């Protein structure tokens, strides 16, 4: 039975990463155990933890760009020394945040409310609410409130 469950979850994972329809994509991630809020947009190719998807929470209004990777476990030390256990830590992406294309979010990270993670960033520390982070490793480069001022008066 365990083998069937593993295969079932692997199929859901593959489908969720590649299906273009947002509503179905969110449903597939939820079936795998990931907690996803309302009005969440997940682009194609997003890798949400395959082994422990239940440790990922994405709150309302989050936008996740293409090819983002979200991890909740670190098995690097375990691979070298089997006496060391795999480290599991949850990831939480708070409401109304934006995760840019190709960003990597490592285990144990909380992305604060209304934050921006720039494309290609590797997030190794929590992101404070209302901040913009970029780089490898990601560092705070600005405030979302200042960034939004650039768009005042723009009619889209």
Q: Do 153 and 136 meet the contact criterion of CB atoms below 8 Å apart? A: no
Name every residue whose Cβ is closer than 8 Å to that of residue 93 and which is 6 or more positions away in sequence: 57, 58, 59, 62, 64, 70, 99, 105, 110, 111
- Phi, psi (deg, nearest 5) at residue 8: -60, -45
Q: Residue 78 catalytic?
A: no
Set 47, 51, 63, 73: catalytic member: 73
Q: Do 97 and 114 meet the contact criterion of CB atoms below 8 Å apart? A: yes
**Residues with catalytic annotation?**
73
């Amino acid at each position: 039975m365990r083998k069937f469950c593993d295969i079932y979850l692997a199929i859901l994972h593959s489908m969720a990463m590649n299906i273009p329809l947002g509503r179905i994509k969110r449903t597939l991630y939820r079936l795998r155990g990931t907690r996803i809020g309302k009005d969440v947009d997940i682009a194609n190719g997003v890798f949400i933890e395959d082994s422990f998807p239940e440790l990922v929470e994405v709150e309302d209004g989050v936008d996740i760009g293409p090819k983002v990777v979200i991890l909740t476990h670190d098995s690097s030390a375990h691979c070298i020394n089997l006496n060391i256990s795999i480290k599991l830590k949850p990831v939480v992406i708070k409401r109304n945040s934006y995760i840019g294309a190709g960003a990597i979010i490592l285990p144990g990270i909380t992305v604060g409310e209304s934050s921006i993670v720039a494309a290609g960033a590797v997030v190794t520390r929590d992101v404070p609410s209302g901040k913009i982070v970029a780089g490898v490793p990601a560092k705070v480069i600005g405030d979302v409130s200042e960034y939004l001022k650039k768009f005042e008066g723009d009619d889209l």
